[in-house]
């Protein structure tokens, strides 16, 4: 879900993904840090609902949800993360309502992440793209305010108001100013807090997005915004910029977290979506992986590995066609029911256990 930029990556024998960047601290890496114990760290580990570009809900039914919740409980996570689109959420609202209710009954917290689908995804679901004819800031603002009113009714523990603003405005073929985004986020925070005052409000940024990084200081000035998360993918996230952003977020009084993370950005670089990389993916979510970087920067409020399909299978992501998504959903459902797990699942389960 992120754009690729020019970098150099090296896969070392241990399976760790090592990165060197010509930015700052050019010889440092996400893994090149002192290892510390995570015991009693109270990191908020999350399991994101099966992330097939937000489309899974359109190619599965509610019988899919309890097996996934069982998987999340088996992982030992504290929170179920639901990444969705406002129209997708409203279209399948009965399904989401039941999922949220069942997750809470299982003792899980709820994190709703507000993304925006591409027009091609809407076609796959037979839906009309809402901003096709008018993507003015006023229309976009109204669209997002109405989405917040819907999400806030569920009293989520965490609500990412906007995920990846730079990419989001590309999806609607618009360019809003930094001041407009700041005003929008302030309005969205107030909208959510008026309905659900105890919900933590977040914005999720991409370190390799120049726009997102320019927006960061504007967001840090939104008083009631609780947290700013970073979507960190090891093969594309610039180490120096990511480090600087993390420091800025914490120093300006905001909570910090990894609102998405994985060793490889599988969507933007499908060539990395191969079983050969599973060992590196498992290391990324292990006790000595990216969590060490996050913990040592007080980035513990959200820890959300993205590609949860790899907890049960090493199959590559499906082709984005109706048939491809239906086949993938059927396969994934069988794997869930069978209780199949992978090396990635085992690593993440060991990680959640290590913090207790």
> Is residue 23 scored above 90 in pLDDT?
no
Residue at 146 is within a domain: yes
pLDDT for residue 177: 98
In a domain, 249, yes or no: yes
Measure the N-to-C terminal CA separation of the chain; round to a whole number of Å: 31
- Is there a domain that residue 147 lies in? yes
Residue 12 scores a pLDDT above 50: no
Q: What angle do CA 162, 79, 304 make, to 5 degrees?
A: 55
Q: Which residue has the tokens 């114990």?
A: 37
Query: Token digits for 202?
Result: 């977040």
Q: Is residue 204 part of a domain?
A: yes
333 in any annotated domain: yes
CATH, residue 336: 3.20.20.80
Structure confidence at residue 28 as a pLDDT band (50, 70, 90): low
- pLDDT of 50 reads 83
**Range from 4-18, 58-72, 199-213, 235-249 carrying the lowest mean pLDDT:** 4-18
pLDDT for 255 equals 98
Closest CA relative to residue 64, chosen from 50, 84, 85:
50
Q: Kindly indicate the confidence band of residue 29, based on its pLDDT and cuts at 50, 70 and 90.
A: confident
Asked if the model's pLDDT at residue 16 lies above 90, the reply is: no
Give the closest residue to 254 by CA, choosing from 297, 296, 287: 297
Q: Which residue has the higher pLDDT, 16 or 173?
A: 173
| Domain presence at residue 152 | yes
Helix, strand, coil percentages (3-state) for the chain, rounded to 5, are 45, 15, 40
Examine the pLDDT at 130 and tell me if it is beyond 70: yes
Judging by DSSP bridges, how do beta strands 17-20 and 8-11 pair with one another?
antiparallel
* Lowest-pLDDT choice from 18-22, 50-54, 194-198: 18-22
Q: Is 26 a residue whose pLDDT tops 80?
A: no
Distance CA 67, CA 337 (A): 6
Order of strands across the sheet with 303-305?
Answer: 46-48, 79-84, 109-114, 158-163, 200-205, 227-233, 255-262, 303-305
Residue 3, in any domain of the structure: no
The confidence score (pLDDT) of residue 241 equals 96
Question: In terms of residue numbers, what domain contains 38?
Answer: 8-354
Output the CA–CA distances (angstroms, integers) from residue 232 to 243, 289, 305, 344, in the order listed: 11, 12, 9, 17
pLDDT value at 39 more than 60: yes
Predicted pLDDT at 1 = 43
Tell me which of 39-53, 97-111, 159-173, 296-310 is least confident.
Answer: 39-53
Report the number of distinct structural domains present in the chain.
1
User: Which three-class secondary structure state does DSSP give residue 286?
Assistant: coil
Q: Say if 2 falls within a structural domain.
A: no
């Amino acid at each position: 879900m992120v754009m690729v930029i020019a970098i150099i990556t090296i896969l070392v024998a241990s399976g760790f993904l090592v990165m060197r960047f010509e930015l700052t601290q050019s010889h440092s890496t996400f893994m090149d840090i002192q290892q510390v114990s995570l015991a009693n760290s109270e990191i908020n580990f999350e399991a994101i609902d099966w992330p097939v570009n937000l489309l899974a809900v359109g190619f599965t039914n509610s019988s899919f949800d309890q097996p996934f919740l069982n998987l999340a409980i088996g992982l030992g996570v504290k929170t179920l993360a639901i990444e969705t689109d406002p129209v997708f959420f409203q279209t399948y609202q009965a399904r989401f309502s039941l999922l949220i209710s069942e997750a809470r009954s299982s003792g899980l917290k709820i994190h709703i992440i507000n993304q925006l689908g591409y027009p091609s995804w809407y076609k796959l679901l037979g839906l009309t793209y809402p901003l096709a004819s008018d993507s003015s800031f006023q229309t976009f603002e109204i669209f997002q305010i109405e989405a917040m009113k819907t999400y806030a009714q569920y009293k989520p523990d965490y609500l990412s108001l906007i995920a990846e603003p730079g990419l989001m405005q590309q999806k609607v073929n618009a360019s809003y100013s930094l001041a407009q985004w700041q005003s929008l986020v302030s309005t969205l925070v107030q909208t959510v807090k008026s309905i659900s005052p105890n919900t933590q409000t977040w914005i999720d940024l991409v370190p390799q997005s120049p726009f997102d990084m320019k927006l960061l200081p504007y967001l840090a000035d939104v008083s009631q915004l609780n947290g700013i998360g970073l979507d960190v993918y090891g093969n594309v996230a610039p180490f120096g910029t990511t480090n600087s952003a993390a420091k800025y977020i914490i120093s300006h009084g905001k909570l910090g977290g990894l609102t998405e993370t994985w060793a490889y950005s599988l969507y933007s670089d499908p060539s990395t979506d191969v079983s050969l990389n599973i060992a590196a993916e498992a290391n990324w979510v292990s006790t000595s992986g990216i969590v060490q970087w996050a913990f040592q920067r007080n980035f513990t409020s959200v820890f959300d590995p993205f590609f949860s399909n790899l907890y049960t299978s090493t199959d590559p992501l499906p082709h984005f066609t109706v048939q491809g998504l239906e086949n993938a959903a059927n396969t994934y459902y069988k794997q869930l029911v069978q209780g199949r797990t992978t090396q990635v699942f085992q690593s993440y389960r060991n990680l959640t256990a290590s913090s207790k």
